[in-house]
Amino acid sequence: MSPMCMHSADDDGRVTDFHMVHYGARALGGAGLVFLETTAILDNGLIGPGDIGIWEDGQVEGLSRLTKVIQRFGAKAGCQLGHAGRQLGIEGRPAIAPSAIPFTETSRVPQALTIDGIKEVVEAFRQGARRAKEAGFDVVEVHTAHGYLLNEFLSPLANHRTDEYGGSHENRYRIVREAIDAVRSEWDGPLFVRISSTDYKEGGNTPEDFLIYGQWMKEQGVDLIDCSSGGIAMIKVNSFPGYQVPAAELLREKLGMMTGAVGLIETGRQAEEILQNGRADI
């Protein structure tokens, strides 16, 4: 079960009884791997009010109880580490991004991260991975998709930096490289990365760009690339059953690594076709 925003944590980003029932029921229902919604690595990384946090040690106890519930009912527990970047969904905290470019003309203007700020984000990913391990998760996923902070660095539509974190593929990937290395320094279990395989807009990333990024992810010890799309620009996507599967198929074939497929996969028969034809692994 993929991560989905439930917005039901308390004001301090801690899990509640809702999560115990919600995720426990999915585990009992037969899902093999249940991902929580994005756990925010910093308190200015929330997608919206009620998001779960993993930015302080006090949040580990609730997460640990939740992983035990999921595992007790037969599933593995997944933690998706992320930061909303300029998509910060609450007021009163500064939104951060690679460049001071708002999502839309009416969106707030984010603060462009300094080098020190980038180091703080990378360290927060490391600490988040440490807490995920302490909480007993089975899988960790680094969220680099859907227009959130790491996706903003990867996309030339949102990243206009002229320093070592902007410009070339290598420079735009630099913070992702550092975040993955930081996570790997604390986490020795299965590691996924969720990507937006295309920005759906001229000048943005395409699946071919992720053959470059994906090769670097493979070299860094990422076990599976979870292929979603979009989120960096306000556009209408022509979605249809299985519309994101070709990206998972492309990366699986060209990179020789496992991929996950998501997006309007609505029946067991449809999912089984994707798996049996070798188009994705999950």
β-pair type (96-97, 139-144) = unpaired
Distance CA 230, CA 22 (A): 27
Residue appearing with tokens 């076990």? 223
The answer to whether the CB of 205 falls within 8 A of the CB of 154 is: yes
Active site residues: 143, 146, 148
Through-space distance between the first and last CA atoms of the chain, rounded to whole angstroms: 10
| CA-closest candidate to residue 262, choices 250, 251, 274, 253 | 274
Q: Which residues does residue 112 pair with via DSSP β-bridges, in sequence order? A: 97
| CA-closest candidate to residue 30, choices 224, 271, 273 | 271
Q: What is the DSSP string of 226-270?
A: EEE---SS-------TTTTHHHHHHHHHHH-SEEEE-SS--SHHH
